[in-house]
Amino acid sequence: MNLPIIYHPDYVTPLPDNHRFPMPKFKLLHDLLIADGVIQPEQVKPPEKPPREWLELVHTPEYVRAYCEGTLDAKAQRRIGLPWSPALVTRTCTAVGGTILAAKLALSVGMACNTAGGTHHAFPDYGSGFCIFNDFAIASRLLLHLGWVKKILIVDLDVHQGDGTAFIFQDDPRVFTFSMHCEANFPGRKQRSDLDVPLPTDLDDDGYLQILAQHLPDLFDRVQPDLVLYDAGVDTHVSDRLGKLAMSDYGLYRRERMVLSSCAAAGYPVACVIGGGYNKDMPALVYRHSLLHRAASEVFGQYKL
Ligand SMILES: [Zn+2]
């Protein structure tokens, strides 16, 4: 069995020119992974769109309906920051399906990676910061509902706090939310995760990895999860347009190795999403996201999962 990589052509949908959300990156990431031989075409698994009932395990039926039918009011639309279209609805739902599929496959083979996902600013009844439906929250609720897992650990290393996810699970002991993020970044008003580690602006690789290494082992021991959901946002990079940390490509690669080896060594299945990453230099950004899949392929092979 090879490492499953989740991708669908519907991950990309047109946006207006010069929109700051880097929509083309999802297809380019898939293409780069194939071109560089990181993955073989047969490893790529296409997700399906989840039925509405699955979305409603987290989101209110009113919000799901209004978004899917394009009837959200202008203010709610602006808060999301992506112009509504039927194609964007398809994209949004397919990407959530991708994270669900990654989580299911991780449970059967030990590890799986989506080539999208990480919509952690979505709350039950509204979206925000390019996030419409909360993929980790939906995947968690579904697997708990199906009885496939009893305890989930969310490791959110995007530069922005996973505020929607923290809010959704604030009273749910079955899902432990861990967010390590730059304190000075969006959202201005933070929620309370089960464990928050706010970081100072301009933190570099060594500082970042040292803090992560201080927390990860304790976290795994404490939670003993049946599944880890990992948001590998690369907006912690020094050249990211939005993030205020100062990591390098090599630092990101070391981070992905650290997280994934920790999971593999302890026998915790892990499903990964790419999270945020914003840069006008598209090839550099796509390469940065691919570090997750490169590290995952290596760890997967090394531990013969
Ligand atoms: Zn982010």
- Average pLDDT estimate for 59-72: 98
**Which domains, from first to last, does the chain contain?**
24-303 (3.40.800.20)
pLDDT bin (cut points 50, 70, 90) of residue 225 is very high
Question: Mean pLDDT over residues 279-302, rounded?
Answer: 97
CA of 183 to the centre of ligand 1 (A): 12
What span, in angstroms and rounded, lies between the C-alpha atoms of 123 and 167?
7
203: helix, strand or coil: coil
Confidence of residue 72 (pLDDT cuts 50, 70, 90): very high
Q: Is the pLDDT of residue 17 over 90?
A: no
CA of 102 from ligand 1 middle (Å) equals: 20
CA–CA gap between residue 214 and residue 201 (Å, rounded): 19
Determine the pLDDT at residue 26.
97
Give residue 304's pLDDT.
77
- pLDDT per residue as tens digits for the range 99-134: 999 999 999 999 999 999 999 999 999 999 999 999
Gap from CA of 135 to ligand 1 centroid (Å): 14
Q: Does the pLDDT at position 1 exceed 80? A: no
Distance, CA 163 to ligand 1 centroid (Å)?
Answer: 11
Whether the CB-CB separation of 115 and 64 falls below 8 Å is answered with no
Residue located via tokens 């590998």: 232
Task: Catalogue the active-site residues.
Answer: 121
In the three-class reduction of DSSP (H, G, I as helix; E, B as strand; rest coil), residue 114 is classed as strand
How far, in Å, CA of 35 to CA of 33, rounded?
6
Order of strands across the sheet that contains 270-273: 44-45, 5-6, 111-114, 270-273, 227-231, 152-156, 175-182, 195-199
What number of other Cβ atoms are within 10 A of residue 259's Cβ?
A: 23
Averaged pLDDT for residues 267-291:
97
- pLDDT (tens digit per residue) in 195-223: 999 999 999 999 999 999 999 999 999 99
